[in-house]
Amino acid sequence: MSVGLPSWAELISHMRRDLGLDEDDTVRHWGYQTLAEYYRLKHGSIGPLRSWMDRTWSVSAERVKESRIHELIVKLDFPLLYTTNYDNNLELAYQFHDKPYVKIANTCDIVGCEDGLPQIVKFHGDFDDDETLVLAETDYFKRLSFEGPLDTKFKADALGRTLLFVGYSMSDLNIRLMLYRLWTTWRESGRERDRPASFVFTAKADPVQDAVLENWGITVMHEKADHPATSMLNFLDKLYRAVEEV
């Protein structure tokens, strides 16, 4: 949203209009996953919705080029970036800053991955491949088994590395389950003290959520600001300056 992308609320409103559903209390409690599942049943596929998202979920390349948040992500030079976004803004940012990378959205991408380059892993899929999209309810249920190629890759990547989660509301069930399973894996190993540190950045403090995450061995961080994008920018800027000083 910091570069002009629509919110999830706008996605839900579009699906309701397309499906002829009234915006009243009888449907207000449905999440976008359930509506997307209904959309798939009514239209026979998620294709029309994906096409609308592809058109609407695009911003001018210039907006991405001018985005300080995207610039800092590139400059921080993470070896692995997992994103639940479907758009290609991260890839554009790497291209603008002449930083080579590889994109991984499916099994073939894993096999053909070039060593030594930053990896942008499209964990919930990519607009270039409808089959990879995790959008409807059954897509999420399938991911909860964590037995797919990208799930196996994430578990291998995450087990021995320091993790930093940014930009999430931490309400995504897939993400929360990943964090929980990582915690239980280390706890059951009997070597939890050897576990690399894990961090979560969220724009606003939430004492309930923060307590749960900290119980899972995750350090929660916040930056006070009037807008979530400003909070994110301030955090990434501080992190970049700290890394430069090392």
Q: Are residues 19 and 36 in the same domain?
A: yes
Same domain, 67 and 28: no
Whether residue 108 sits in one domain with residue 23: no
Q: Does one domain contain both 39 and 127?
A: no
How far is the C-alpha of 218 from the C-alpha of 179, rounded, in Å?
A: 9
C-alpha span between 113 and 91 (Å, rounded): 15
Residues 49 and 165 reside in one and the same domain: no
Residue 28 pLDDT greater than 90, yes or no: no
Q: Are 96 and 65 in contact (CB under 8 A)?
A: yes
From CA 232, how far away is CA 218, in angstroms rounded? 18
pLDDT average, residue stretch 10-25:
78
Mean pLDDT of the region 45-50: 84
Q: What percent of the chain has pLDDT over 70?
A: 94
Query: Is pLDDT of 76 > 60?
Result: yes
Together in a domain, 90 and 46 = no
Residue 24: pLDDT band (50, 70, 90) is low
- Are residue 131 and residue 17 in the same domain, yes or no? no
CA distances from 61 to 92, 97, 101 (A): 7, 13, 18
Say if residue 160 is in the same domain as residue 45: no
Looking at the structure, tell me whether residues 32 and 98 fall in a common domain. no
State the residue range of the domain holding 52. 8-56
End-to-end alpha carbon distance in the chain = 32
Q: Examine residue 2 and state whether it is found in any structural domain, yes or no.
A: no
Q: What is the CA radius of gyration of the chain?
A: 19
Q: Is 147 exposed, middle or buried (0-12, 13-18, 19+ CB in 10 A)?
A: exposed
Cα angle value 221/93/171 (rounded, 5°) = 35
Name which residue leads in pLDDT, 32 or 187: 187
Could you give the 3-state DSSP secondary structure of residue 29? coil
133-180 per-position pLDDT tens digit: 888 889 888 877 778 888 889 888 988 899 999 875 677 777 888 888
146 is a domain residue? yes
Would you say residue 25 has pLDDT above 50?
A: no
Residue 243: which of 24, 14, 75 has the closest Cα? 75
- Whether the per-residue pLDDT at 59 is higher than 80: the answer is no
Largest interatomic CA distance in the chain? 56
Answer yes or no: is 3 within a domain: no
